[in-house]
Each structure stands twice: as structure tokens, then as C-alpha cells.
Amino acid sequence: MMFGATAAYAEDILVYTALEDDEIPRYLALFKKDHPDINVKIVRDSTGIVTAKLLAEKDNPQA
């Protein structure tokens, strides 16, 4: 895929975050404004847990 392409397709992404629950909707709304065809699943946890997940998945990223 080339950057800047305007292909119309749906894509799913998984996002790990340590943001507070009340902050997530603002960021998600801004992202969805520019990327309406991308479905976002949010996994929210503490910074330590998110870091541990990312390190554990470094060879097979899930998010």
C-alpha cells in the first residue's frame, strides 16, 4: 500500500494505551475523523502492563 492512496477498505487495528478512560474518546474521535474506515479496538491498562504486553509481543506484535 502506498501512503496517500485513497483505497476504500475497512481495516481493524488494536491499540494498547495507558491513557485515562476519560481521555480516550477525544483521541479516538480525532483519529476517526481522518480514518473513518478503520475500526479501532482499545485495550486500556496501566503503563507497566502495556509495556509488558508490548515487550512480550515484540516478535509477534498484536497492537
Residue 6 is assigned to a structural domain of this protein: no
Helix (H) or strand (E) holding 8: none
Measured between alpha carbons, how far is 61 from 53 in angstroms, rounded to an integer?
9
Measured between alpha carbons, how far is 36 from 28 in angstroms, rounded to an integer?
10
Residue 61 is assigned to a structural domain of this protein: no
Residue 2 is assigned to a structural domain of this protein: no
Torsion 61-18-46-15 (CA) sign: negative
Residue 31 is assigned to a structural domain of this protein: yes
The residue segments making up the domain with residue 42 are: 11-56
Residue 63 is assigned to a structural domain of this protein: no
Domain count, the chain: 1
Residue 4 is assigned to a structural domain of this protein: no
Residue 5 is assigned to a structural domain of this protein: no
From first to last of the 63 residues of the chain, give the pLDDT tens digit.
344 444 555 699 999 999 999 999 999 999 999 999 999 999 999 999 999 999 999 888 887
